[in-house]
Amino acid sequence: MPCTGKCDDHWNYDHPSKWPKHFPAAGGLCQSPIDIKPHKTVAQSYSQFVFSPKYYTDGVLFTLTNNGHQVAVTLTESTGKQNHTDLSFTGGGLTGTFHFVNFHLHWGKNDRHGSEHEIDGKTFPAEAHFVHRNYETDQVAVFAFFFTIAGQSKNENTEWKKYTDVASQLIKINDTANCTFNLNHLMQTDSRQFFRYMGSLTTPPCTEGIIWTIFSSEIPIKEESLNLLRDNVMRKVYRPVQPINDRIVFRNYQT
């Protein structure tokens, strides 16, 4: 998750247990990520997600930025033709309209680690987050997607290959680059199973009250693509799982 405000000091991914010293929310009872136990989740019916047309459009221009903790992707503002209100969704059991803020990727030093959330203790080589905000209520909702290693190049998601190709060139903090993406090809949310729970930002200040939607099916990516990020940008960018405490995790499907 991206930082909000001035939270770059006093933290890194080498010592996440020290975060609460400078960011008290990080020691709260509703922190993210978590290890989801599907057999303990509660079935719930949700309305379909409805995305604005621009989610399905090729050629939407975005800006990638190395912020020192991740490579975040935001809508490019300088064209004058784009507006964040053009990228929004409704539905999915959420109240109101949520607008796109950014997306980014978490990964580990090797394919055995990298995802922030886990499923029954299983980790994945990477996890993507798509951050949205309801500007009327200030509520934040995040979509999370797991990755699996693609055996052949033809199986790799081409939009994510584009992300790793461009992001891996942003070696220094504050390096930026522009690139076009099709958000629907990146996310592929149609008719997919997901989990839902209340948690927090996964980077400082670790603010709670975040609505998480964790999609269970995996996106294929080549190991070589992740190695570009590991070798050129950062070795490790993920927070370990946090105690679930007494929270309920819902699912949008029957057993």
Q: Which structural domains are found in the chain, ordered by start?
A: 21-251 (3.10.200.10)
Q: What is the pLDDT of residue 188?
A: 82
Residue closest to 58 by CA, chosen among 154, 193, 162, 195: 162
How far from 87 is each of 81, 166, 169, 184, 186, CA to CA, in Å?
A: 13, 22, 26, 11, 14
Q: What is the pLDDT of residue 78?
A: 54
25-43 tens-digit pLDDT: 999 999 999 999 999 999 9
Q: What is the pLDDT of residue 46?
A: 96
User: What's the pTM value of the predicted model, to 2 decimals?
Assistant: 0.93
Give pLDDT tens digits along the chain (255 positions). 544 344 456 799 999 999 999 999 999 999 999 999 999 999 999 999 999 999 999 989 999 999 999 999 999 975 445 555 689 999 999 999 999 999 999 999 999 999 999 999 999 999 999 999 999 999 999 999 999 999 877 889 999 999 999 999 999 999 999 999 999 999 988 768 999 999 999 999 999 999 999 999 899 999 999 999 999 999 999 999 999 999 999 999 997
Q: What is the pLDDT of residue 7?
A: 45
Q: What is the pLDDT of residue 151?
A: 82
Bond before 204 cis per omega within 30 degrees? no
Label each residue of the chain as H, E or C: CCCCCCCCCCCCCCCHHHHHHHCHHHHCCCCCCCEECHHHCEECCCCCEEECHHHHCCCEEEEEEECCCCEEEEECCCCCCCCHHHCEEEECCEEEEEEEEEEEEEECCCCCCCCCCEECCECCCEEEEEEEECCCCCCEEEEEEEEEECCCHHHCCHHHHHHHHHHCCCCCCCCEEEEEECHHHHHCCCCCCEEEEEEECCCCCCCEEEEEEEEEEEEEECHHHHHHHHHHCCCCCCCCCCCCCCCCCEECCCC
